[in-house]
Structure 1
Amino acid sequence: MTASSSFSSSLQRRRFAAWLALGAASPLLPALAAAPFPEKGRTIRIVLGLAAGGASDAQARFVANKLGEVLQTPVIVENRPGASFILATEEVIRSTPDGYTFMYAPSSVVAQNPQTLAQVRYDPFKDLTPISLGARGPLVLTVHTSVPARTVQELVAYIKANPGKMSYASFGTGTSSHIYGEAFARQAGLDVVHVPYKGGADAAKDFLAGRVQYYFDAAPNAIQNTATGKVRMLAVAAPKRSPMLPEVPTMGEQGVSGVDMPSWLGFYGPARMPAPVVEKLNAALAQVLAMPATRDFFRQGAYEAESSSPKQLAELTRSTYDQWGDIIRKLGLVKQPQ
């Protein structure tokens, strides 16, 4: 048996054991549904598959602080970086579905990773419970200032004049920043090198140092990097301009199509969460995300705080998964090892 198949079998056994413990062989599920939620003083964990200090981490911590006030119980953020959010997702999937552990995750976790990464063994539609949308915001094409390009067209011309000499960063193989980079290269006929990192923080270090020349980055990080004077924003990868970055044109406006999918983040728990618990969390998150302080904080990073019903998030997950699937198939991308 290979290491991969052994891991898969082990994960399947754990899931089956969890199902037995929580399902027909145990009264625990009815007990979870009947128990008051949350128990006063019991800590709720929001798992994040990124290192501390990034924009998504800041959003998660801001929400956790406000959510703790609303629910009157401690809410903390637990960072589990690595493997394009796979470690964090599996941590949530393995947790007891009682509402005390859930994650804040970008759309790539449910819409792209299962279609692009060979070691993803979770099913986003069977192994997770949608709770609420959290935020929407674009990725931004940024370029290091060592590259004399101020528009997408100028960047294309510069890369073509230096074939094989330029590279672009991504915050992980199979993520939106990678797929956008690949789609851009295919559309424009570019000879470039993809350099994947284990998250935005690692990518930013090399990007700011000029070791990689351009990067489709999350808007909050793009704004922070641009403030250093070492980076320029060339375009937003979205169907229309961001209200928070009105001066930055879209990729489509600059002649590059197919790189216009909006990005979002959502809250997901493990499968089989009791409906009353999901409803309580959903209502509390809706209250937090509607607060003027929350909306102002998110807008500083060109993101819009936005809640949804669990059903709406489930539908958004499915539609985004299908849309990314079309792009992935058109590009001919196959599942990659991490």
Structure 2
Amino acid sequence: MNRNTFHPSSRSARRHVLAAAAATVLGLGALHSTAALAQAPAYPAKAITFVVPFAAGSATDQLARAIGQSITNDTKQPVVIDNKAGASGMIAAAAVAKAPADGYTVLITTNTTHAANEHLYKKLSYDPVKDFAPITGLGKGGQVLVVNPASPHKSVGDLVAFAKKNPGKLTFGSGSASSRVAGEMFKQLAGVDILHVPYKSNPFAITDLLAGQIDLMITDTSTGMPQITAGKLRALGYSTQKRSAQLPEVPTIDEAGVKGYDMGYWFAAYAPAGTPAAVVTRLNELMQAATKSATAKSFFDMSGSEAWTTTPADLAKFQAAETLKWGKVIKAAGIEAE
């Protein structure tokens, strides 16, 4: 028989053999893919870096460390705090914007970088919307209007009445965007002329207030509370529409007669734009749980702030509204972008 001639039966058998072989290969491939997926490490599989736009010891830094400790406890992965202070938070924000979008670099920040800066600076080294994936809000806090205990002004009403009779005679200090804008909003809504005195940071302004060099300031509770508790400053009004749990006897500035006054500060977390949705969701879950931890609660109690969490979409909407609000106040105050 010719060795090069094949019978139909043998050709059919060969097809069956080839098909079986192909099926075996495909089956092995599928099993391999399934095994690979099963073996893929769950997020987080290594250390996460929290980039903080302010110095160690700042309120944002303290909150970042509290959140990080909770995440470490939950995941057994370390959280590294990287303080990149300077340029009103722009150095840190730009660094995170350029970081790999893998969920291992997260910006723990405030309204400074994501609501105020675009109105205070002509050019930013980052885009607060396009360069980031919102994760969640973390906390909100208020500011407190304080004067020296020797001040003749015992209430917000006293201050407003004196300022209206003596335009330009009172001075207010500020060492942050939040403090400056809070003071400018007070002037606008109260209809008074008070001279602004700028400082490099709120603690410097507090020092001059204690020495009687300026008349008042509206400062974050983290900075002002120790001085109020020690009796070195007198609190006249709280900046949000809800009274502070730490200062329940102090009326809100709105309650005290400056209607519509509402100016707080907030903390939030952002990842670089393009971070996978599943990773953002996981970070959201971890951080929401972290705000309820004992370490975070201690921070909120100490600083006079409170936990505040959101979905990523709700944080984006909130940020947009806050950006508009800050822009209006800054424009009305005549603050020119640097």
TM-score range, shorter chain: 0.7 to 0.9
Structure 1 residue aligned with 2:16 = none
Confirm whether residue 95 of structure 1 aligns to residue 99 of structure 2. yes
1:81 aligns with 2:82: no
Distance (whole Å) between structure 2 residues aligned to residue 45 and residue 198 of structure 1: 28
Q: Which residue of 1 aligns with 2:128?
A: 124
256, 260, 263: which one aligns with 1:254: 256
| Secondary structure of 1:112's aligned partner | helix
Q: Which residue of 1 aligns with 2:240?
A: 238
- Encode CA deviations 1:268-306: one digit per residue, 9 max, x unaligned: 122221212212211111111122552243123221112
Say yes or no: does 1:154 pair with 2:158.
Answer: yes
CA distance in structure 2 between the aligned counterparts of 1:204 and 1:86, rounded to whole angstroms = 25
Task: Give the C-alpha shift of residue 213 in structure 1.
Answer: 2.8
Corresponding position of 2:320: 318
Matched residue SS, 2:172: strand
The one-letter code sitting in structure 2 at the alignment partner of 1:307 is T
Per the TM alignment, residue 161 of structure 1 is displaced from its structure 2 partner at its CA by 6.3
Larger deviation, residues 156-165 vs 58-67: 156-165
Superposed CA deviations along residues 54-76 of structure 1, whole A, max 9, x for unmatched, are 33322222222222222212213
Secondary structure in structure 1 of the residue aligned to 2:258: coil
* Aligned equivalent of 1:222: 224
Gaps of 5+ in 1: 1-33
Q: Which of 1 and 2 has greater Rg? A: 2
1:62 paired residue number: 66
Contact 1:169 1:215 in 2 (8 A): yes
The answer as to whether partners of 1:82 and 1:199 remain within 8 angstroms in 2 is no
**8 Å contact kept, 2:184–2:329:** no
1:227-273, CA deviations, whole angstroms, 9 ceiling, x for partnerless residues?
23221111111123233432111111121134313432111122221
Give a deviation string over 1:187-231, Cα, whole Å, max 9, x none: 334443323334434444444444333221112222122123221
Amino acid at match of 1:253: E
* TM-score (norm: length of structure 1): 0.79
| 1:185 corresponds to | 187
Change in Cα spacing, 1:120 to 1:333, as seen in structure 2 (3 Å) is farther
3-state SS of the aligned residue for 1:50? Answer: coil
8 Å contact from structure 1 (residues 54, 201) kept in 2? no
Code of the aligned partner of 1:228 = A
**Residue 121 (structure 1) shift:** 4.2
Q: What's 2:281 paired with?
A: 279
Say if 1:48 and 1:57, in contact at 8 Å, map to a contact too.
yes
Instruction: Provide the rounded CA distance (Å) in 1 between the counterparts of 2:85 and 2:53.
Output: 4
Partner-residue secondary structure (3-state), 1:254: coil
CA deviation after TM superposition for structure 1 residue 130, in Å = 0.8
- Mark the CA change 1:305 to 1:141 in structure 2 (over 3 Å): closer, same or farther: same
Amino acid at match of 2:103: G
**Matched-pair contact (CA < 8 Å) for 1:137–1:263:** yes
TM score, norm. by length of structure 2: 0.79
* Whole-angstrom distance in 2 between the partners of 1:142 and 1:64: 32
RMSD across aligned positions (CA):
2.5
**2:152, 2:80 → 1: CA distance?**
43
Distance 1:196 1:128 in 2: 31
1:295 maps to 2:301: no
Q: Which deviates further from its counterpart, 304-313 or 205-214?
A: 205-214
Please state if 1:110 is matched with 2:114.
yes
Q: Please name the residue that 2:197 is paired with.
A: 195
Amino acid at match of 1:150: K
Aligned to 1:47: 51
Number of residue pairs matched by the alignment: 299
Q: Percent identity?
A: 35
Pair 158,334 (structure 1): closer, same or farther in 2 beyond 3 Å: closer
Q: Per-residue deviation at 1:183? A: 2.0
Secondary structure of the residue that 1:185 maps to in structure 2? helix
Structure 2: how far apart are the matches of 1:129 and 1:207?
40
Alpha carbons 1:82, 1:198 under 8 Å: kept: no
